Amino acid sequence: MKPAAAPPRTYRVKSFGCQMNVYDGERMAELLGDRGIAPASEGEDADLVILNTCHIREKAAEKVYSDIGRLVLAGKQAGKQPLIAVAGCVAQAEGEEIMRRAPAVSIVVGPQAYHRLPEMLGQAVQGKRATDTDMPAIAKFDALPQRKKRGPSAFLTVQEGCDKFCTYCVVPYTRGAEISRPFAHLVAEAQKLVEAGAKEITLLGQNVNAWRGEDDRGRRTGLAGLIHALARIDGLERIRYTTSHPNDMDDALIAAHGEVDKLMPYLHLPVQAGNDRILKAMNRQHTAESYLRVIERFRAARPDIALSGDFIVGFPGETEAEFEDTLRIVDEVRYAACFSFKYSPRPGTPAATMEGQIAPDVMADRLQRLQARLAHHQYAFNQASVGKTCAVLIDRTGRDPGQWLGKSPWLQSVWFEGDYAIGDLVEVTLADAGPNSLRGVVTTPA
């Protein structure tokens, strides 16, 4: 038992890692808000701090312990310790260890159990430490409150978990098996998000295109059916989805890119590596060639589609020649944007104990060369966009008064000037391109 604590009045959620964690962080904030607990203001010490952790790479667990240490130190200086909760995938993977090593932590809650946070908080206030790392994913969604007002772009988790078991990845262990949320729940949540001001919704899932459900007429459908239904919501202007797996692509989803105006011309389709021996060792279950064929089909359905992906360099046993196959596939696809990482051995995954772990300096060199190629193609994509006219959804203010920043349909950052507000969709002509953003000139009057 810990000493009893006063019920928290303020909270702070610190989310690390993927967009699904951002979504989970928002839902936790909504749960707390429903119980009258307010977000701590900038610079204020919160009564409750939730570390919403990521386990995908690097020394994620180490980082959690150092964050906890910092919070305890700050608490000592302020004369008041916050309640500390650890959520997310590190909580799922190392919950017991966290409770043992970090007595300052009151709550450990996994990504499928955070709907129980208020109840666990009740226990923590009484001095009882609480852990829940069960995996009843649908129960979680059913127990969450209605969506609250956010910015013009919202995330909507439609699918969770993964059955693919890539040999480097912890997700199947921390997020559990693939589950799809029911169609009707998703349409209802999307409707609420739009009523709360969302103009763009990004559908999220570890394998979002593995989503399956029954539509309002009882027909089995994949993600395309859901997208068609969401496109009928008045006031929703843009639909995106991420992250897809090449093997879960179906004809209907590819065709939707040519049929649904609200579906943005952007596809995040990780390949990880360009060499078939490495892809096999990764258990990706696709080849470089089969991946390229999928891309070809998307380009046929939507010729201007922007492509993005994820890459891992230095997978165990990767030779220089095998790494060069990754550079080749990058040149072939000409990605508009990408994420690239050094391979990070994750405890408990098959790749962590494979022979031929790559030296850090070799990995660093490969990452640097890969990122130079990716940057080249991103800049080329931006330059090729100059002269196009498109709608930009404003999501931020710029540096100077009257300056606005938003996203093009191809997810590029575009800035321009005028008398607007966050959430406006403004038609601009793309006038100049930089490596990471473009300047637009408004083509419609303010």
Nearer to ligand SF4, 244 or 382 (CB): 244
Judged by CB under 6 A, the residue of 15, 52, 206, 244 near ligand SF4 is 206
Q: Which does 392 bind (CB under 5 to 8 A by kind): ligand SF4, ligand SAM, none?
A: none
Spatial separation of the C-alpha atoms in residues 45 and 30, rounded to whole Å: 19
Q: Which does 56 bind (CB under 5 to 8 A by kind): ligand SAM, ligand SF4, none?
A: ligand SAM
Nearer to ligand SAM, 133 or 285 (CB): 285
Interaction mask 386-405, ligand SF4, x per CB under 6 A = --------------------
Q: Are 404 and 416 in contact (CB under 8 A)?
A: yes
Spatial separation of the C-alpha atoms in residues 93 and 133, rounded to whole Å: 9
Q: Which amino acid is at 392?
A: V
Dig out the tokens for 175 from the structure: 């997020």
Spatial separation of the C-alpha atoms in residues 416 and 421, rounded to whole Å: 12
Please choose, out of 33-41, 77-85, 213-221, 336-344, the segment that lies near ligand SAM by the rule CB under 6 A.
336-344
Dig out the tokens for 337 from the structure: 């944007």
Q: Which does 341 bind (CB under 5 to 8 A by kind): ligand SAM, ligand SF4, none?
A: ligand SAM
Q: Are 18 and 310 in contact (CB under 8 A)?
A: no
Please choose, out of 16-24, 158-166, 183-191, 422-430, the segment that lies near ligand SF4 by the rule CB under 6 A.
158-166
Judged by CB under 6 A, the residue of 52, 206, 221, 326 near ligand SAM is 206
Using only C-alpha atoms, the chain has a radius of gyration, in whole angstroms, of 23
Spatial separation of the C-alpha atoms in residues 232 and 372, rounded to whole Å: 41
**β-pairing verdict for 130-132 and 153-157:** unpaired
Judged by CB under 6 A, the residue of 16, 155, 168, 415 near ligand SAM is 168
**Distance between first and last Cα of the chain:** 61
Q: Which does 343 bind (CB under 5 to 8 A by kind): ligand SAM, ligand SF4, none?
A: ligand SAM
Spatial separation of the C-alpha atoms in residues 360 and 358, rounded to whole Å: 6
Nearer to ligand SF4, 191 or 283 (CB): 283
Residue 246 DSSP label? G
Q: Can residue 310 be called a binding residue for ligand SAM (CB under 6 A)?
A: yes
Q: What does the binding site for ligand SAM look like in residue numbers (CB under 6 A)?
A: 18, 56-57, 168-169, 171, 206-207, 243, 245, 270, 272, 310, 312, 341, 343-344, 346
